[in-house]
Amino acid sequence: MNNKPNLKKVSLCIMIIVMSLIIVFSIIFIINKNISDKQDNEILEENKTNDVELPKEKNRFEDLTLTNENVGVTVLYYHAVDPAHPGEELYVSPTQLKEQLQLIKDLGYTSLTMTEVNDYIKNNKAIPEKSILITFDDGYTDNYTYAFPILKELNMKATIFVITSETDIGNYYVSSSQIKEMSDYGIDIESHTVSHLHLDTLSYEEQLEELKSSKSKIESITKKDVLSVAYPYGDYNEDTKKATIASGYSIAFTTDTGLADRTDNPVTLDRIYVNSLHSIDTFKDRLLGIQN
């Protein structure tokens, strides 16, 4: 007789436990369903976003007349840009530089990146009919202090060929941080070898080391491929050309006067020298004379 109340209590406890389990599992089911529905909705939204056609990045040559003919590219090469050395040939003043670059724009030239020049020379890509590559040899600090702001103001592309052994030594040449800043902005930082030696006086192995090490150091700073080298003093020989290719460069520049075109060997491209002794009229005559 005393077992009946106990059985009732046990039955009641079992019922309570069963009901509790049902409630708990129901709550878990509802929570999981809500999470699943949310994930499904997120996937649907993501798919909708992916289906939307994003606006295409504008081709900067879109409004220009392009040519794929071998018309050649005018490649200017400067050195220092500093107002403190009037009359010294290698030191173009900031005023001179700005006047010359403004003239280039006024004459309808488009300043190119090194990639665009490489694609034109090596890959037969079309470029604007009046194209120009602006370069600076050696990588002096004044290129950062004076030339860089002018290039930004005029929205022009340019390349600086740096001597990597001089990087971060004193204040005469650009530092790694300056190189990175200019590269991030869009200025191409390319090679002028490690030590700025006369390459044609070195062995093949020595030239290879000068070219490879310089390329590697610049790439470690900019995190971008180095496509080109400018030979110090314009000096090169057959070993230089072989070492340049073996080092992974696509194109290279000399100091021989002329346009850079597809008839040149890609690792001996011509350039046009600019110095402080050139008046604006002389600069214009040289620019147009070479072009014509």
Reported as a single tens digit per residue, the pLDDT across 119-133 is 999 999 999 999 999
Let me know if residue 83 belongs to a domain: yes
- The span from the CA of 30 to the CA of 208, in Å, is 69
Assess whether 35 and 117 both reside in one domain: no
**pLDDT reported for residue 203:** 99
Assess whether 216 and 250 both reside in one domain: yes
Let me know if residue 65 belongs to a domain: no
Assess whether 46 and 151 both reside in one domain: no
Assess whether 163 and 30 both reside in one domain: no
Q: Read off the pLDDT band of 62 (50, 70, 90).
A: confident
Assess whether 281 and 200 both reside in one domain: yes
**pLDDT reported for residue 19:** 73
Assess whether 167 and 48 both reside in one domain: no
Let me know if residue 23 belongs to a domain: yes
Assess whether 172 and 261 both reside in one domain: yes
**pLDDT reported for residue 16:** 73
Assess whether 115 and 244 both reside in one domain: yes
Closest CA to 91 of 290, 278, 287, 288: 278
pLDDT digits (tens, 9 = 90+) for 175-234: 999 999 999 999 999 999 999 999 999 999 999 999 999 999 999 999 999 999 999 999
**pLDDT reported for residue 39:** 63
Closest CA to 93 of 144, 147, 132, 133: 147
Residue 24 in this model has a pLDDT that exceeds 70:
no
Show contacts of 236-242: CB within 8 Å, 24+ apart: 236/199, 236/200, 236/268, 237/199, 237/200, 239/200, 239/202, 239/203, 239/204, 239/207, 240/199, 240/200, 240/207, 240/267, 241/265, 241/267, 241/268, 242/204
**pLDDT reported for residue 260:** 96
What do you get for the CA distance between the two ends of the chain, in Å? Answer: 123
Assess whether 35 and 157 both reside in one domain: no
**pLDDT reported for residue 244:** 99
Number of domains in the chain: 2
Rounded to the nearest integer, the mean pLDDT of the chain is 89
Assess whether 26 and 165 both reside in one domain: no
- The span from the CA of 32 to the CA of 22, in Å, is 15
Let me know if residue 285 belongs to a domain: yes
Let me know if residue 66 belongs to a domain: no
**Domain encompassing residue 187:** 72-291
What percent of the chain is predicted at pLDDT more than 90?
72
- The span from the CA of 185 to the CA of 46, in Å, is 32
Compare 288 and 35 and report the one with higher pLDDT.
288
Assess whether 95 and 222 both reside in one domain: yes
SS3 91: strand
**pLDDT reported for residue 118:** 98
Let me know if residue 45 belongs to a domain: yes
Assess whether 108 and 212 both reside in one domain: yes
- CATH code (residue 141): 3.20.20.370
Let me know if residue 60 belongs to a domain: no
Let me know if residue 139 belongs to a domain: yes
